[in-house]
């Protein structure tokens, strides 16, 4: 990949004065066992698995959350506060945290598998949460099989309806990770979603690292930013029938839906899908954006590089450095420099969501 020009390099080396997103890992466990996720398959030794499950503290203490929220209000009040990992609805103080963040004027969002949504729906009332993102994997029986929990689809749908009925409810979107299990069922899934009050349904090409790609990366960067295989254990994205997927995505694009339908990254032709799934070492984006706009903090208060899908290396604890100190920490600056000098992406970044785009 060509190196960036000097002006572009200097631009990329300078992270914005404030992060745009602060993502919280409020616990280190999940209540579902998704077959295409390192957490669901128990692969805690991978970068993705360790970033989500590696905290020594099972749940984020309330005082730590308050410290983070107060720090955001002082340092980056316009940033979005994302409750995303590992399953925020399994964190008991979530409702109080949403209220606390709202009181500080922060823009809070929640990403969930929806299993506990009926039980906790009322906590999303009164504008305390701006956007609710629910992760589903296909029609009911298929979703339940992928998540390995019978009834999980029905509970998520029940929860979506309950939240939407609240006064001051957040906008609700559903996101579906494309896998070899649900190709051929995506259009049916969208039809099943059509009677729900949704803003958007997003179809997401799986973020994954194959063992071969990890080895290729580590030959160059393993000493500093070691890569591991990820999301490729009980699910193998390279086996996806790209011709069938291309036909299905074309049908979806040609249809009319009551909500916005997005495909991320926007790869729908058989040729593009062949590159995405069968040639994962080939870049489809040009540079990482997330290293210059996102921070993540886990349940211990340790900062995770960028977000859960990034490389795992020591940075600092927010109790010691604060958000501003982490944002400008030498370890993060070094990663940004390495990315820029490499032309924007490292080998194992090729199928990370942070590298999609221009």
pLDDT at 16: 59
Confidence of residue 4 (pLDDT cuts 50, 70, 90): very low
Range of the domain at 67: 6-355
Distance from C-alpha of 194 to C-alpha of 69, rounded to nearest angstrom: 36
Coil, helix or strand at residue 70: helix
Confidence of residue 340 (pLDDT cuts 50, 70, 90): very high
Coil, helix or strand at residue 226: coil
**316 CA to centre of own chain:** 22
And the tokens for 121? 């729906």
And the tokens for 153? 């689809």
149 has pLDDT over 80: yes
Distance from C-alpha of 148 to C-alpha of 209, rounded to nearest angstrom: 23
Reference 131, options 163, 162, 109, 98; nearest CA is 109
Q: Provide mean pLDDT across the span 299-328.
A: 96
Q: What is the pLDDT of the chain when averaged over all its residues?
A: 94
| Strand duo 21-25 + 80-85: pairing | parallel
**How many folded domains does the chain comprise?**
1
Longest C-alpha distance within the chain, in Å?
55
Coil, helix or strand at residue 184: coil
pLDDT over 70, % of the chain: 95
pLDDT at 10: 45
pLDDT at 99: 98
Confidence of residue 33 (pLDDT cuts 50, 70, 90): very high
Coil, helix or strand at residue 109: strand
The helix (run of H) or strand (run of E) holding residue 296 is strand 294-297
| Strand duo 80-85 + 107-112: pairing | parallel
List of residues 6+ apart from 184 with CB closer than 8 A:
241, 244, 248
Q: For residue 169, give Cα distances in angstroms to 120, 162, 166, 296.
A: 13, 10, 5, 26
Whether the Cβ atoms of residue 213 and residue 281 lie closer than 8 Å to each other: yes
And the tokens for 44? 């805690």
| Strand duo 303-304 + 294-297: pairing | antiparallel
12 has pLDDT over 80: no
Whether the Cβ atoms of residue 40 and residue 317 lie closer than 8 Å to each other: no
pLDDT at 358: 59
Q: Residue 202 — φ and ψ, nearest 5°?
A: -110, 135
Alpha helices in the chain (DSSP H): 6-13, 47-53, 62-75, 94-103, 117-120, 140-147, 152-164, 186-193, 211-221, 242-254, 270-278, 318-327, 330-341
pLDDT digits (tens, 9 = 90+) for 235-257: 999 999 999 999 999 999 999 99
User: Would 1 be classed as within a structural domain?
Assistant: no
User: Would 320 be classed as within a structural domain?
Assistant: yes
Confidence of residue 317 (pLDDT cuts 50, 70, 90): very high
137 has pLDDT over 90: yes
Reference 286, options 334, 214, 339, 222; nearest CA is 339
CATH number at residue 178: 3.80.30.10
DSSP 355: G
153 has pLDDT over 70: yes
Distance from C-alpha of 306 to C-alpha of 304, rounded to nearest angstrom: 6
Distance from C-alpha of 126 to C-alpha of 133, rounded to nearest angstrom: 17
User: Would 237 be classed as within a structural domain?
Assistant: yes
pLDDT at 17: 81
Whether the Cβ atoms of residue 214 and residue 311 lie closer than 8 Å to each other: no
141 exposure class (CB count in 10 Å sphere: 0-12, 13-18, 19+): exposed
């Amino acid at each position: 990949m060509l190196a960036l020009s000097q002006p572009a390099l200097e631009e990329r080396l300078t992270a914005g004065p404030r992060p745009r997103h602060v993502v919280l890992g409020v616990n280190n466990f999940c209540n579902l066992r998704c077959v295409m996720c390192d957490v669901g398959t128990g692969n805690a030794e991978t970068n993705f698995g360790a970033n989500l499950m590696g905290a020594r503290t099972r749940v984020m203490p309330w005082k730590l959350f308050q410290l983070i929220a107060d720090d955001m209000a002082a340092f980056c009040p316009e940033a979005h506060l994302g409750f995303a990992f590992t399953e925020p609805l399994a964190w008991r103080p979530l409702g109080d945290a949403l209220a606390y963040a709202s009181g500080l004027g922060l823009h809070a969002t929640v990403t969930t598998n929806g299993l506990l949504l009926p039980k906790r729906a009322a906590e999303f009332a009164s504008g305390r949460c701006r956007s609710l993102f629910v992760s589903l994997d296909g029609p009911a029986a298929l979703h339940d099989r992928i998540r390995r929990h019978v009834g999980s689809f029905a509970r998520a749908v029940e929860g979506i309806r309950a939240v939407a009925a609240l006064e001051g409810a957040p906008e609700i979107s559903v996101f579906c990770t494309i896998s070899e299990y649900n190709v051929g069922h995506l259009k049916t899934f969208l039809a099943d979603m059509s009677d729900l009050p949704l803003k958007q349904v997003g179809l997401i090409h799986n973020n994954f690292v194959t063992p071969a790609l990890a080895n290729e990366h580590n030959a160059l960067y393993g000493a500093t930013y070691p890569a591991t295989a990820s999301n490729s254990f009980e699910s193998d994205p390279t086996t996806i029938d790209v011709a069938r997927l291309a036909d299905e995505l074309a049908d979806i694009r040609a249809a009319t839906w009551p909500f916005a339908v997005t495909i991320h990254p926007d790869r729908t032709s058989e040729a593009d899908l062949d590159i995405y799934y069968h040639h994962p070492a080939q870049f489809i984006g040009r540079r990482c954006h997330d290293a210059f706009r996102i921070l993540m903090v886990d349940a211990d208060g340790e900062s995770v590089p960028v977000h859960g899908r990034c490389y795992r290396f020591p940075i600092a604890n927010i109790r010691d450095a604060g958000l501003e100190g982490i944002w400008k920490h030498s370890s993060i600056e070094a990663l940004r420099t390495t990315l820029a000098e490499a032309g924007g992406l490292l080998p194992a970044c090729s199928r990370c969501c942070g590298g999609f785009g221009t």
